[in-house]
Structure 1
Amino acid sequence: MSVIAEITVPSAAFELGRILRVEGGTRITLETMVPLGGRPTPFVRIRNDERETFERSVREHSSVDEITLVNTHEDETLYALDWEPSGDSLLRTILDLDAVLLSATGTADAWALELRFPSHEALSAFQDRYLDEEIRVSIERIYNPTKPDAGPWYGLTPPQRETLAHAVESGYYSLPREMSTKELADEFDISDQAVTERLRRGIATLVSNTLLIDGERD
């Protein structure tokens, strides 16, 4: 199962933090990162009153080919960054582990990143990397990507959880099936239709609160 980690990293230790330098209390937001032409293209948003200094600073960085203004809305501007990530950067480690950068917000001092790793093993490999490189990464939160209101059993009611667990353990979903719908219904003293509906609703809830979360967050 995938796992989400919220971390804070010094701007100087994060490649995009070094490229997208801001000053004072200015905050920059990574809107999304799209893989174009074999490399990730970040779309970043910044206040309009910082545009001139920001553009000049970014263009002067050796890794940047171009920064393109996408649109301006009210007091903010959205840019697309055409760049070449270095092979040994923290961001390259994230991408090589098939992790997804869900969100990122930076200041002059630090960046707050929300990362989704495909497994706990991938997260451990990421931790090993920044420890080896002596990068000061603060782990703010680690959690599995279920809906906030799903509860401890992924949104399942006690009857749904009990029925699903018993169905699996008793071979209801085995091939060939080791328990009939009637036998399963008799175990809970309910009708065939009721047990089928309980299983259907339970499976729908379980999938909605686990497997479909990644797509929603993307």
Structure 2
Amino acid sequence: MSVIIELTLPSDAFELGRILRVEASTQLRLETLVPLGGRPTPFIRLKDDGRESFEGTVREHSSVQNIQLVSSHDDEMLYAFEWDPSEGSLFRKLLDMDVAVLGATGTTEAWELELRFPNHKTLSEFQEYYVDRGIQVTILRIYNPTKPDAGPWFGLTTPQRETLTQAVEAGYYSLPREVSTKELAAEFDISDQAVTERLRRGITTLVTNTLLTAETEP
């Protein structure tokens, strides 16, 4: 089962943090890390007041081949840059272990990362990696994305899953609404009230087994 970890670490403790070090008042946000041709391409968003410092710092690093302004809106800029993580670096390790970077924000002092590991064994391997290298990692939270006993479909019964799926595909949750509960009821040959109850219970089950789950481990 996959496991999600939220952690912080000093900006100067890992390669990407050193590349992206900017002025103290500027906060960076990693929008996504897209593997293109075997090479991870970070997309970074920052406020316009840190643009000059950011571009200068990134261009100077030897592992960065190119940096490009993708878009700008109001006072925010979105950049992409070609980057080849060094062998043995933290992000190279994460890529090799097939770890997904769900989110990352950073300042000149520290970064906070949200990572999804394929299993607990991989997480243990990563913990050994940063302990062996003396990287100061602070664990904020460790949890499974769903309850272990939720089963397939996040605990939904087959009728709940089929009804929720049909409701979404038919536009029940669209604005304006494209189908009524009566029309959904006709699809399943049940009453309007039964459809409403299936949707209510299904949504409750989904939220309970995903968003409200916060199982921690030592």
Q: 2:179: which partner in 1?
A: none
Larger Cα-atom Rg: 1
Write out per-residue CA displacement over residues 103-149 of structure 1, whole angstroms, 9 at most, x where no aligned residue.
11001111000000000000000000000011100000000013xxx
Q: RMSD across aligned C-alpha pairs, in angstroms? A: 3.0
Separation in 2, partners of 1:61, 1:156: 48
Q: 1:92 is paired with a residue of what secondary structure?
A: helix
CA deviation after TM superposition for structure 1 residue 151, in Å: 11
Q: Does 1:95 align with 2:89?
A: no
Q: How does 1:75-94 map to 2 (within 5 A)?
A: 75-94=75-94
Q: Partner letter of residue 132 of structure 1?
A: D
How far off its partner does 1:25 sit?
A: 2.4
**Closer/same/farther in 2, CA of residues 63 and 151 from structure 1, 3 Å limit:** closer
Query: What's the CA shift for 1:53?
Result: 1.7
Structure 2 spans left out of the alignment, 5+ residues: 158-197, 211-218
* 2:18 counterpart residue number: 18
Provide the residue aligned with 1:131 in structure 2.
Answer: 131
Contact 2:23 / 2:53 at 8 angstroms: preserved in 1? no
Give the match for residue 215 of structure 1. Answer: none
Aligned mates of 1:209, 1:126 — CA distance in 2: 27
1:177-196 per-position Cα deviation (integer Å, ceiling 9, x unaligned): xxxxxxxxxxxxxxxxxxxx
Q: Name the counterpart of 2:37.
A: 37
Q: How does 1:1-218 map to 2 (within 5 A)?
A: 1-146=1-146, 156=155, 209=209
CA–CA separation in structure 2 for the residues paired with 1:102 and 1:72: 23
CA distance in 2, matches of 1:151, 1:34: 29
Moved over 4 A (4+): 150-157
Compute the displacement of 1:152 (Å).
Answer: 8.3
Distance in 1 separating the partners of 2:37 and 2:135: 29
Partners of 1:108 and 1:20 lie apart in 2 by: 8
After TM superposition, the score normalised by the length of structure 1 is 0.69
Measured in 2, the distance between the counterparts of 1:156 and 1:64 equals 45
SS in 1 for 2:91: helix
Runs of 5+ unmatched residues, structure 1: 161-197, 211-218
Percent identity over the alignment is 61
- TM-score where L is the length of structure 2: 0.69
User: What amino acid maps onto 1:105 in structure 2?
Assistant: T
Match of 2:182 in 1: none
Deviation at 1:156, TM superposition (A): 4.9
CA distance in 1, matches of 2:48, 2:135: 32
